[in-house]
Amino acid sequence: MPASSKTISLKDAPAMLAGLDLLSSAVLILDNAGRVIYANPAAEHLLESSFKALANQALDSLFLNGSDLASIFVEAVQHKFADKRLDLVLERPGRVPLHVHVIVTALDSPDTPVLIELRENVQQLKLDREERLLEQGQANKELIRNLAHEIKNPLGGIRGAAQLLELELPERHLKELREYTQVIIKEADRLQTLVDRLLAPHRRPHIVGDVNIHEVFERVRSLMMAEFPSGLSIRRDYDLSLPEFRGDKEQLIQAVLNIARNAAQSLSDRIKAGDAELVLQTRVARQVTLAKVRYRLALDLHIIDNGPGIPEDIRDRIFYPLVSGREGGSGLGLTLAQTFVQQHLGVIECASRPGCTDFRILIPLP
């Protein structure tokens, strides 16, 4: 038997429509041909289109994979269910896909048979992203251990052989040939330094003490002002009520400094023009979930720059080792920053567009 349905008519329900206008979730009402005849303000915002543009559009034309919703609409018209809930990824031309929880309700009305509610899965997306970051961090550790093992032993042998070879060079050709042995030795030393930097966060002990996050930010600010004395403005936006917490001050300084230095290096053109800006912001976030654990309070730290933004092709990989958007960059700064923050049970997130890149650090408070 068909499921029971809800009786509703747009003509007879102005109060109901006024109520839908106040909802934070997107609502679409469709006619019997599957065309949009009502969209609340939240739907206009979510779909980035006015009701005038959405009106009378067929449901399956709104999304590249709209056939998924269209088939559910047919089931609703046939009263195969009263309401149906599912998670979908709705693809749109020229825009990012929408990850939404969809509620399709069958209405007992020949003119308006179906109501669709779309709720963006922001929290689920955030949890998935954090889980990927943690998995990525673990994979990075395994990669670094294996890399160190595979590189360090032969590297020592190469350097030692080059030194011995240099001792055996004939005196009359020593000056010319020594140039080549020195290249081998110096390149071996450079690779050794790279491996040591990769291993640094895993070797260094985690020294815990009372930390004032503003002392961390002020230390970073003074270092950045010394490194970039002109052309870069560093603005403070602090919440001075933030409490002290237990953490490794030196690790946190290094993490924030790596992010701030990366930001400043991306601002090279604006520094030359004299209008580069870096914002150091501290806030508190409430009821935060990190790595599937709920915390009542968390430090909410931001390092924001007005640079060109992170190239789209590496935006999802910026925390991977050896990935850099800057020519000559080592690709280790953000990897180390992420490792240090994860040792404080926190995460680093990034939102970037031309003119504004915002690195957000979340660290739970007791």
The model's pLDDT over 257-306, given as tens digits with 9 standing for 90+, comes to: 999 998 998 888 889 888 899 999 999 988 887 877 888 899 999 999 99
**Token representation of residue 33:** 């041909």
What's the mean pLDDT in 248-261?
91
Q: What is the pLDDT of residue 236?
A: 94
Q: What's the pLDDT at 5?
A: 43
| pLDDT of the residue at 133 | 67
The pLDDT assigned to 6 comes to 47
Q: Which pLDDT score, from 0 to 100, does residue 1 have?
A: 38
The answer to whether 105 touches 85, Cβ cutoff 8 Å, is no
> Quick one: what percent of the chain has pLDDT higher than 90?
19
Alpha-helical regions (H) of 228-332: 249-266, 268-273
Which residue did the predictor score with more confidence, 120 or 128? Answer: 120
Q: In degrees, to the nearest 5, what angle opens at C-alpha 8 toward C-alphas 6 and 11?
A: 175
How far is Cα 361 from Cα 219, in angstroms, rounded to an integer? 17
Contact 323, 331 (CB under 8 A): yes
Per-chain mean pLDDT for the chain: 82
Does the pTM surpass 0.75? The reply is no
Alpha-helical runs (H) found in the chain: 14-21, 41-47, 51-54, 67-77, 122-167, 174-203, 213-227, 249-266, 268-273, 333-342
User: Does residue 152 carry a pLDDT above 90?
Assistant: no
Residues 302-312 have a mean pLDDT of 89
Q: What is the mean pLDDT of residues 73-92?
A: 87
CB neighbours of 131 closer than 8 A, spacing ≥ 6? 291, 292
Torsion-angle region of 110 (φ positive above 0: left; ψ -120 to 50: alpha; else: beta)? alpha
Could you tell me which residue, 96 or 219, shows the higher pLDDT?
219
What average pLDDT does range 334-363 have in this prediction?
88
Q: Quote the pLDDT of residue 362.
A: 93
How far apart CA 40 and CA 57 sit, in angstroms, is 15
pLDDT for the residue numbered 125: 62
Residue 284: both structure tokens together: 């508190």
